[in-house]
């Protein structure tokens, strides 16, 4: 099963309750929430109040992507605010602190994710695989929406899928549309994060179906 996770970074922030209702109506089961600190990435958005408000507004799975330095300081607070999945960046802290943060997320009964930037080799994830429930491969540089998909990231998906079970969450984030989604699915991804392409779609339900459909023939 392929999961589509629309990123609310591209939504109308003045109407988040309406936008999450639109995500649910489209058939997408997850809402992806980007949190940026202006330090780990050169942008600033999202936070605990936003996650808590969205939790009150929807029963969608809240997939929170922390693009912040030293995320272990905040992971339990995001769990308590209503996140179902909390993903941190491998590059955001020391190996021991990354492990501690993943353990803290799971200790709250939530799913723990680990994300890597385009410049980070997939091999660096291997030592953490048993400690997380999701790996998110960035196909753009984190921090801004609307960037072009980097096809050179596909071998990372292939490598990671070869080392994980078929039902392990292997996600991809950045420049996802029906054409790039097909490439990612073929490379092993089963979680597709899409921002502006989803919210700009004239028929969002059809868009989700196109992203999640299996290859034919």
What are the structure tokens assigned to 128, written together? 């953490």
For residue 34, give every residue at least 6 positions away whose Cβ sits within 8 Å of its Cβ, in sequence order, or none.
7, 8, 9, 45, 46, 65, 67
| Residue 40 host element (H or E) | none
Per this entry, what is the length of the chain?
A: 217
By the 8 A CB rule, do 173 and 10 touch? no
| Known catalytic residue at 34 | yes
Say how many C-beta atoms besides its own lie within 10 A of residue 192's C-beta.
26
Q: Phi first, then psi: what are they for 21, rounded to 5°?
A: -65, -35
Q: List the catalytic residue out of 37, 63, 93, 173.
A: 173
Q: List the catalytic residue out of 34, 37, 93, 177.
A: 34
Helix, strand, coil shares of the chain, percent, nearest 5, are 45, 20, 35
C-alpha span between 142 and 145 (Å, rounded)? 8
Q: Name the residues annotated as catalytic.
A: 34, 173
């Amino acid at each position: 099963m392929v999961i589509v996770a629309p990123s609310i970074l591209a939504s109308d922030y003045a109407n988040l309750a309406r936008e999450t209702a639109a995500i649910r109506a489209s058939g997408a089961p997850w809402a992806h929430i980007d949190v940026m600190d202006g330090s780990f990435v050169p942008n600033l958005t999202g936070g605990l109040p936003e996650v808590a408000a969205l939790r009150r507004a929807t029963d969608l799975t809240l997939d929170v992507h922390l693009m912040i330095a030293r995320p272990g300081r905040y992971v339990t607070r995001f769990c308590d605010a209503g996140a179902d999945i909390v993903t941190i960046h491998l590059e955001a802290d020391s190996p021991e602190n990354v492990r501690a943060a993943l353990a803290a997320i799971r200790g709250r009964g939530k799913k723990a994710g680990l994300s890597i930037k385009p410049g980070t080799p997939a091999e660096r994830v291997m030592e953490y695989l048993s400690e997380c429930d999701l790996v998110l491969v960035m196909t753009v540089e984190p921090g801004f929406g609307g960037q072009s998909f980097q096809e050179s990231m596909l071998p990372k998906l292939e490598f990671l899928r070869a080392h994980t079970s078929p039902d392990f969450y292997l996600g991809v984030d950045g420049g996802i549309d029906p054409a790039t989604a097909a490439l990612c699915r073929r490379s092993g991804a089963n979680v597709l994060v899409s921002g502006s392409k989803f919210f700009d779609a004239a028929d969002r339900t059809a868009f989700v179906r196109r992203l999640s459909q299996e290859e034919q023939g």
